[in-house]
């Protein structure tokens, strides 16, 4: 297993960011937009490199989630990907372990992510819990339901935060995919 490096966006070189973007474009079969890329920036990245090649990546960015009358400081997992020929070798788990370490020790109250169907076993196996309740976004016009995201949101409480997984959870607004 190769080592995982964690670094804030500002610590990554232009070449490293270009390599990460290329990995994400490839891993998401060209369905990784500029807005998705923007969502990946400004937090802590976990990167696995083999030689000069970035083979796995994930990032943890700060967001706010509204739940039960509270705004929770949330570490939101973005852009988790492993190069196709290196999957099922523990690199995704290594990336998640590094991000979860930051989540537990970085002052967050909650971890959250939007999971694709193929990634669910990874997240569930690491203790992430499915949010069973409705999802929403705090849009410029107010709270709007996001029913297409129901059943895709996973959370990890931090520091003893109590959650009602059957109640509504609302994410903060951002351009593009809000979850």
Kindly list the domain boundaries of the chain, sorted by start residue: 4-172
pLDDT recorded at residue 115? 95
Q: What is the pLDDT of residue 106?
A: 86
Superfamily holding 4-172: Gcn5-related N-acetyltransferase (GNAT) (3.40.630.30)
Rounded CA gap, 28 and 39, in Å? 15
Q: State residue 99's pLDDT score.
A: 98
Per-residue pLDDT of the chain (179 residues; tens, 9 = 90+): 578 999 999 999 999 999 999 999 999 998 999 999 999 999 999 999 998 899 999 999 999 999 999 999 999 999 999 999 999 999 999 999 999 999 999 899 999 999 999 999 999 999 999 999 999 999 999 999 999 999 999 999 897 889 999 999 999 999 999 99
Q: What is the pLDDT of residue 1?
A: 55
């Amino acid at each position: 297993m190769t080592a995982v490096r964690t670094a804030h966006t500002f610590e990554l070189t232009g070449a490293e960011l270009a390599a990460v973007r290329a990995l994400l474009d490839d891993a998401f079969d060209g369905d990784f937009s500029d807005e998705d890329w923007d969502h990946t920036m400004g937090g802590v990245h976990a990167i696995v490199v083999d030689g000069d090649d970035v083979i796995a990546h994930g990032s943890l960015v700060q967001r706010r989630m509204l739940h039960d009358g509270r705004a929770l400081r949330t570490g939101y997992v973005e852009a988790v990907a492993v190069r196709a020929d290196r999957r099922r070798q523990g690199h995704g788990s290594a990336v998640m372990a590094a991000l979860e370490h930051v989540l537990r020790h970085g002052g967050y109250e909650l971890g959250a992510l939007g999971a694709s169907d193929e990634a669910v076993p990874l997240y569930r196996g690491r203790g992430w819990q499915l949010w069973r309740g409705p999802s929403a976004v705090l849009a410029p016009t107010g709270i709007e339901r996001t029913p297409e995201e129901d059943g895709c949101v996973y959370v990890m409480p931090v520091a003893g935060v109590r959650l009602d997984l059957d109640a509504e959870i609302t994410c903060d607004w951002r351009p593009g995919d809000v979850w």
